[in-house]
Amino acid sequence: MPEITDATLVASAPSAAGAPATAEPTAPRTGARRRVPRRRASHGWYRLIAPAAVVLAWQLASSAGLVSAQKLPPPTTVWRTAVSLVITDSPAYGTLQGAMLVSLERMATGFAFGATAAIALALVAGLSRIGENAVDPLLQILRTLPLFGLIPVFIVWFGIGELPKVILIALGAAIPLYLNTFAGIRSVDARLVEAGQALGLRRPEMIRHVILPGALPQALVGLRQSLGVAWLALVVAEQVNANAGIGFIISQATQFLRNDVILVALAVYAVLGLLTDALVRLLERRALAWRRGFGE
């Protein structure tokens, strides 16, 4: 007969309320406490240190006479020119804020069309072998064409109005976004797809809950790249038969040999590019919060 100990009696004895006794919870040890990762504080302004250092070095080199003020005006001169363009409606350039609004409108229109077409084509090519054979070769051909070499063709086809400029921006934005979104769809973990099939997900549900979230990180990388290419396309498009915009200011300043005005326009492009990139980075932090360790 097995020996009955006090511990056996305590474990088998009913509680005072008649319910079986349960093990009393023990307090967790201090040393074994699970660490909860905390998200680091946002230090986005750190990204401004390198540009500020370049501007400071530029100013010091100009003050020391190492750089010709005719070829490369110092930042102080560029700043005074920018203020003048803002407060003065120049017959040659217009106002800086008016040119910015025109450029932003062109950029937004072209990028919206290009991004929509890129995502739609990436879905068609990424979700079907037939779609890939029909779409991907054409996009690969467009990818290898010199984008800026298409400007004379667009002028012949669409005239000298806004349409060729918008199409050029849309084409520049579409290619990187398509390539990255297509690669993201094709790189979704097959085990996730099998798990969705085991759960009985239909094809629309599979695309919505499995494929698109899995392709999102790569698609956001493509979004950042496409914004950069779209800004480059805007620079060139606005210097071809344009009568307003930041590129028009550059074209006018080239004729008048105003390097300070050119640098103001380039600085505006740089600032707008940084702002759009910061918006995409913010979107990444929000959209990819489910990824373990992201943003910590």
pLDDT of 291: 63
Cβ distance 216 to 187 under 8 Å?
no
278, containing H or E segment? helix 259-287
Cβ distance 230 to 293 under 8 Å?
no
Q: Which sign, positive or negative, has the C-alpha torsion 162, 163, 167, 168?
A: negative
What average pLDDT does this structure show over 152-178?
A: 87
Rounded to the nearest 5°, which phi and psi values hold at 190? -65, -25
Cβ distance 68 to 74 under 8 Å?
no
Beta strands in the chain (DSSP E): none
Cβ distance 114 to 177 under 8 Å?
yes
Give the lowest-confidence range in 23-27, 61-65, 134-138, 229-233. Answer: 23-27
pLDDT of 178: 92
Cβ distance 166 to 111 under 8 Å?
no
Q: For the segment 28-62, what is each residue's pLDDT rounded down to a tens digit?
A: 444 444 444 444 445 667 777 888 888 888 888 88
pLDDT of 43: 60
Cα 177–chain centre separation? 10
Rounded to the nearest 5°, which phi and psi values hold at 269? -60, -45
Residue 246 CA to residue 37 CA, distance in Å, equals 45
pLDDT of 11: 42
What average pLDDT does this structure show over 76-90?
A: 88
Query: Domains along the chain?
Result: 73-287 (1.10.3720.10)
Residue 192 CA to residue 80 CA, distance in Å, equals 58
Q: Which amino acid type is present at position 199?
A: L
Q: For residue 230, what are the CA distances in angstroms to 4, 212, 262? A: 81, 24, 20
Q: Residue written as tokens 């009913």?
A: 14
Residue 143 CA to residue 180 CA, distance in Å, equals 13
pTM for the full predicted model: 0.73
Cβ distance 226 to 176 under 8 Å?
yes
User: 173: buried, middle or exposed (CB in 10 Å: 19+, 13-18, 0-12)?
Assistant: buried
pLDDT at residue 140 tops 70: yes
User: 4: buried, middle or exposed (CB in 10 Å: 19+, 13-18, 0-12)?
Assistant: exposed
User: 85: buried, middle or exposed (CB in 10 Å: 19+, 13-18, 0-12)?
Assistant: buried
pLDDT of 201: 74
Q: For the segment 85-125, what is each residue's pLDDT rounded down to a tens digit?
A: 898 887 888 888 888 998 999 899 999 999 999 999 999 88
Read off the pLDDT band of 290 (50, 70, 90).
low
Residue 125 CA to residue 136 CA, distance in Å, equals 6
pLDDT of 17: 41
> What average pLDDT is seen over the chain?
78
Residue 224 CA to residue 278 CA, distance in Å, equals 9
